Amino acid sequence: MKANQAAFEAGQLAERMAQGYNAHAAAIAVATHPDAQKLAPPTLPGMTVPLGFVQRKDGTEHAFHFTHYLKLAAANPELAAELPRVWLAGSLLAVGDALSRRDYFDRAPELELMRHLRNGIAHGNRFDIRNLEKLKKFPAHNRLAWIKSDKKTVFEIIPTLDGQPVLFDYLGPGDVLDILMSVGIYLIRMGNGDPLRP
């Protein structure tokens, strides 16, 4: 039995989101390799191109031209630029929503940072800082976070960020991963009843 099962599960979710982004980045790197076309599935009988499939809710499949879309991952700069943003935005929403269901647990600064990042993503990728008293009461930063860049860059939510873009102006993809992993470690430690700070 965990000391705080909900915290442990939210921490695991944060870690899965960071790991998923790394898997996503690896898959995109393979997709953009010149030999990636050799990985296409065989062309099915009666078809003229290899197909990929995405499941629908009703059990049927949405089919797509596999090699065409594989090439788009490498050749279309607009699409390639959106791929990391989509994963990270979804990760911030998923983890932020899980934390919200528990009122952000103990409101630690890195959990509050996650709250502001999630809300910014949900408001058109722009920070939406409405309550300055709440920001004073619950500071939002990564100063105490378990993982930071080699330069120990600090991200802190301050009133002047209101209306500013979140991804990838305030944070880069690696910064989001550091925050997700730090939140994961913090919450898993909380879930296990371990000390929360080094």
pLDDT tens for each residue of the chain, 198 residues long:
899 999 999 999 999 999 999 999 998 889 888 899 999 999 999 999 999 999 999 999 999 999 999 988 878 888 888 888 999 999 999 999 999 999 999 999 999 999 999 999 999 999 999 999 999 999 999 999 999 999 999 999 999 999 999 999 999 999 999 999 999 999 999 999 999 987
* Residue at 55: amino acid letter: Q
**How many other CB atoms sit within 10 Å of the CB of residue 142?**
23
Position 73 scores a pLDDT of 82
| pLDDT 10s digits, 137-180 | 999 999 999 999 999 999 999 999 999 999 999 999 999 999 99
Domain positions in the chain: 5-27+76-192
Give, rounded to a whole angstrom, the gap between the first and last alpha carbons of the chain: 24
Report the alpha-carbon distance of residue 49 to residue 52 in Å, rounded. 10
Up-side HSE of residue 108: CA atoms within 13 Å toward CB?
A: 21
Preceding amide of 168 cis, omega within 30: yes
Q: Taking a C-beta distance cutoff of 8 angstroms, is the pair 50, 117 a contact? A: no
By CB atoms closer than 10 A (0-12, 13-18, 19+), residue 124 is: exposed
